[in-house]
Structure 1
Amino acid sequence: MATQGFTTCLWFDGTAEEAAHYYVSVFKNSSIGRIGRSNEAGPGPAGSVVTVEFTADGHRFLALNGGPQFTFNEAISFQIHCADQQEVDHYWTKLTDDGGEPGPCGWLKDKYGVSWQVVPDELVDMITDPDQEKAARTTRAMLSMGKLDIAALKRAHAGE
């Protein structure tokens, strides 16, 4: 494999540049790269945006204006690992604003229909705890939430 690793391609219907700017505004360590435009050979009107390379929190993406044939669904999602409740709140709010949809158990869809999981780092340790009672209490608490509440998850884990 090339040393540059993977680039995730996201298929949009005419909103690739707008979406790339949106994601760059949400995540730190982000930037817009090259913008590919149609020329006289196509595939669209000369000058129209076909692709936008961007980085969001260090992960490389390509936003492609591919047309209406394909849309996003929950079969693919991106996990955002959060150090604390402030980060959970930040990403949850940013990604559900302006047409996003909150979902269960820390899942949401942004305004473009891309699915995200906003996950506190501590959650995985709690739900995989070797003490099955603690893990089950934490899992039950998580399943009852939309946006995840770290303090409530910790209380459930502790049996409070």
Structure 2
Amino acid sequence: MGISTQKIVPSLWFDSQAEEAAKFYCSIFEDSAVTKTRYYGESGPGPAGSVMVVEFELEGQPFIGLNGGPHFTFNPAVSFTIHCSSQEEVDYYWNKLLVGGREDQCGWLQDQFGLSWQVVPDALTEMLQDENAEKAQAAMQAMLQMKKIIIADVEKSYKEAG
């Protein structure tokens, strides 16, 4: 495959794990694949024959992974949101992406490569956008107490709020 026709493509800087990360992400998301791998040549700057760039798609969204060395690392200022239609889907993505990573608050986690993900149930978004401010606030307060979002617990607070 050639260069993506997508207008905007996220490019992720890794120290040396771009290929490992791409394969990890592709194992989690459906409709995903590594589409191209390019290698450093004799002129570097990486070791000749080592992976320089990996192009991959997750759910049809193209990404580029670059092995650029230890100069830059991920931080939560940039994250990817996964919209989930059920608790089962939340649990699936949370458990898969969390392997070797760490939990953060309010549905956020950092995977083993340090990339931040927001695993968000659609039900939470609906409750937070409710025109009844008291109910929306109750849902917000419940969410703020969680790491992984448990829809039933947020709904309980939401329903009790009038």
SS of the equivalent of 2:88 reads: helix
What is the match of residue 64 of structure 2? 62
Identical pairs, percent: 51
Q: Give the structure-1-normalised TM-score.
A: 0.95
Separation in 2 of the partners of 1:45 and 1:153?
50
1:157 aligns with 2:158: yes
Separation in 2 of the partners of 1:35 and 1:78?
23
What is the match of residue 122 of structure 1? 123
What is the match of residue 10 of structure 1? 12
2:18 partner letter: A
What is the match of residue 111 of structure 2? 110
Structure 1: give runs of 5+ residues left out of the alignment. Answer: none
Separation in 2 of the partners of 1:74 and 1:119?
16
2:129 partner letter: T
Q: Give the structure-2-normalised TM-score.
A: 0.93
2:134 partner letter: E
Structure 2: give runs of 5+ residues left out of the alignment. Answer: none
Is 2:6–2:62's contact at 8 Å kept on the other side of the alignment? no
Number of corresponding residues: 158
Q: Deviating runs (4+, > 4 A) in structure 1?
A: none
Root-mean-square deviation (CA, aligned residues, Å) is 1.3
Separation in 2 of the partners of 1:60 and 1:142?
31
Separation in 2 of the partners of 1:30 and 1:77?
19
Q: Which moved more, 1:67-76 or 1:36-45?
A: 36-45
